[in-house]
Chain A
Amino acid sequence: MWHVLASLGILVCAIQAIRSQRLLMSALWLAGTSALVSLLLYLLGAPEVAVIELSVGAGLVTVLFVFAINIAGEEAIHLRSPLPRVLTWVTVIAATVLVGWMVFPGMAMPASVPVAEPSFTTTLWVDRRVDVLLQVVLIFSGVLGVLGLLSEGRAGAQKESRQ
Chain B
Amino acid sequence: MAATLLILSIAIPWFGALVVWLAGDARPRLQHGLAVAFSVLAGAVAVALLPFSSSQILLSIPVGGAFGDFTFAADGLGVFLAVVATVVGSLAVIFSVGYMRGEQQLGRYYALVLFFIGAMVGLVLTTNLLLIFFFWEITALCSYALISFYNDDPKAVAGGIKALIITQLGGVGLLLGALMIFSYTGSFDLRDFIAQAGNIPQTALAVMAFGFLAAAAAKSAQFPFQTWLPDAMEAPTPISALIHAATMVNAGVYLLVRFYPAFAEVPGWRTAVMLVGMLSALLTAIMAMVATDLKRALAYSTVSQLGYMVYAVGAGGLFASQFHLMSHSVFKALLFLSAGAVIHGVGTRDMRLMGGLGQKMPFTRAVFVIGALALAGLPILNGFWSKELVLEAGLVGGPLWMWVVMLVGAGLTACYTFRMVWMVFYGQPRAKLHAHEAGAAMKTALAPLAAGTLLTWLLAGPFSKLLESTLPLHALESHSTLHYLEEVALAPATLIAMVVIALGLAAWWQRARLQGLVNALSGVARAAADSFGFEAINRGIVRATQNSAENLRVTQTGLVSWNIFGIMAGLVLVLVILLLGA
Contacts and interface: CB of A to CB of B under 8 A. Distances in A.
Interface string A95-109: 100110010000000
A157 interface: no
A95 B572 contact: yes
A92 B576 CA distance: 15
A147 interface: no
Interface in A98-122: 98-99, 102
B568 A83 contact: no
A87 interface: yes
B575 A102 contact: yes
Nearest to B560: A82
Contacts of B568: 91-92, 95
Interface string B561-582: 1100100110110011001000
B561 A91 contact: no
Contact of A94 (B561, B572, B579): B572
Contacts of B576: 98
B561 A81 contact: yes
B572 A83 contact: no
B517 interface: no
Interface in B535-582: 559, 561-562, 565, 568-569, 571-572, 575-576, 579
Contacts of A99: 571, 575
B565 A83 contact: yes
Interface residues of B, number: 11
A19 B43 CA distance: 81
B565 A87 contact: yes
A82 B561 CA distance: 7
Contact of A83 (B562, B571, B575, B579): B562
A95 B568 CA distance: 7
Nearest to B575: A98
A113 B201 CA distance: 61
Interface string A61-88: 0000000000000000000011100010
Nearest to B576: A98
Contacts of A83: 561-562, 565
Contacts of B561: 81-83
Contacts of B571: 95, 99
Interface in A27-57: none
B562 A91 contact: no
A133 to B, nearest CB: 30
A87 B571 CA distance: 15
A87 B569 CA distance: 10
Contact of A82 (B559, B569, B572): B559
Contacts of A95: 568, 571-572, 575
A137 B411 CA distance: 82
A81 to B, nearest CB: 7
A101 to B, nearest CB: 9
A34 B331 CA distance: 87
B378 to A, nearest CB: 75
Contacts of B579: 98, 102
Nearest to A81: B561
A75 B38 CA distance: 73
A93 to B, nearest CB: 10
Contacts of B565: 83, 87, 91
Contacts of B572: 91, 94-95, 98
Contacts of A98: 572, 575-576, 579
B452 to A, nearest CB: 72
A91 B569 contact: yes
A95 B576 CA distance: 10
Contacts of A82: 559, 561-562
A83 B568 CA distance: 13
A99 B568 CA distance: 12
A105 to B, nearest CB: 14
B379 to A, nearest CB: 78
Interface in B486-505: none
A82 B569 CA distance: 17
Nearest to B557: A82
A91 B562 CA distance: 12
Contacts of A92: 568
The listed residue with most A CB atoms (<10 A of its CB), out of B562, B568, B576, is B568
A120 to B, nearest CB: 33
Contacts of B575: 95, 98-99, 102
Interface string B46-62: 00000000000000000
Interface in B19-38: none
A87 B564 CA distance: 12
A91 B565 CA distance: 8
Contacts of A102: 575, 579
A119 to B, nearest CB: 38
A97 to B, nearest CB: 10
Interface string B433-447: 000000000000000
Nearest to B568: A91
A95 B575 CA distance: 8
Interface in B194-251: none
A133 B226 CA distance: 65
A140 B524 CA distance: 77
- Per CB-CB distance, the 8 closest pairs between chain A and chain B, nearest first, are A91-B568, A98-B575, A82-B561, A94-B572, A83-B561, A95-B571, A95-B568, A95-B572
16 contacts: A81-B561, A83-B562, A91-B565, A91-B569, A91-B572, A92-B568, A94-B572, A95-B571, A95-B572, A95-B575, A98-B572, A98-B575, A98-B576, A98-B579, A99-B571, A102-B575
Given A82-B561, A91-B572, 9 more contacts: A83-B561, A83-B562, A83-B565, A87-B565, A91-B569, A98-B572, A98-B579, A102-B575, A102-B579
